[in-house]
Chains A and B, each alone.
Chain A
Amino acid sequence: MQLPFYIAGAVAIVATFLAITRLNAVHALLYLIVSLLSVALVFFCVGAPFVATLEVIVYAGAIMVLFVFVVMMMNLGPPAIEMERQLLTPGIWIGPAILSAILIVEMGYLFHRGVPPEGPMHVVGPKQVGVALFGPYLIGVELASILLMAGLVGAYHLSSGPGSQVETRDDIHADARRTAVGRDLVRDGVGRPAGTQERDLHADVR
């Protein structure tokens, strides 16, 4: 149980260091996802399989998807198209792919060997966690639910604040701007020359 633990720890440290030193946000997110997966494998090695599952599902699954959504929403327009073209070059994803390959080989080895033997670490299963969670920590569970509710309400309030009003006001004129430069939502100014008229899609609204 010692060697997979150290390998996963080393992968986690390398991936985290690469994540905080990247200049591009998408590259940093890739390395951060690899870091979270390796931390999940560390959890599995020290005898916490329930927490390892939660780490993969919640951290690498949900929180990282939120990050990717926001990063993709930040840069729209022609620079983003150029950046997505650069994202497909193999120099970008070869680093996270190598680290992930190390992790998946290690995971296959662990699952192939079967039930982890009792080492210096004790295996704490999901049942013990559940009993402790709804026994002495019941008030903590209620507080966590209140915190999640507060986070939900706060995120909704922030996203429906005055800043988004500006955006919707801009969107009214966005259609006119697109017809002015000969660009619409489907074709980026390649279908017809600039200046030619197209049917106003919002004519019945105005």
Chain B
Amino acid sequence: MGLAGLLARRNVIFMLMSVEVMLNAAGLAFVVAGSQWGQADGQVMFLFILTMAAAEVSVGLALILQLYHRHKSLDADAASEMKG
């Protein structure tokens, strides 16, 4: 569902939200699997996913602010002028 949102939307804020949904689904799968076998490893993995999501969101939102200041737009196609 998050992947569908990521592919369907062209607004970078919605794309970042979809990435959050996908990370959350992966963490849910980890926790349910760890709870099924009674191990704590699944929850440890979820903590790592949580840490990574926090760092990713902070950097991503800073990038979004920069994009908005430069292009006055939130369209992902506006950032396609980057030539390698």
Main secondary structure of the interface of B (DSSP, over half): helix
Distance in Å from the Cβ of A115 to the closest Cβ of chain B? 16
Pick from B9, B35, B50, B61: contact of A47, CB under 8 Å: B35
A19 at the interface (CB under 8 A from B): yes
- Residues of A in contact (CB 8 Å), total 58
B69, A167: Cβ atoms closer than 8 Å: yes
Chain A residues lying within 8 Å of B5, measured Cβ to Cβ, are: 19-20
A34: Cβ under 8 A from any B Cβ: no
Q: Who on chain B is nearest to A31 by CB?
A: B17
> A51 contacts B65, CB within 8 Å?
no
Which B residues touch A35, using CB under 8 A?
21, 24
Most interface-central of A29, A48, A140, A147 (chain B CB within 10 A): A48
Which applies to chain A's interface (DSSP): helix, strand, loop or mixed? helix
Q: A interface vs B, CB < 8 Å?
A: 13, 16-17, 19-20, 25, 28-29, 32, 35-36, 39, 42-43, 46-48, 50-51, 54-55, 58-59, 62-63, 66-67, 70-71, 73-74, 120-124, 128-129, 131-133, 137, 140, 144, 147-148, 150-152, 154-155, 158-159, 161, 163-164, 166-167
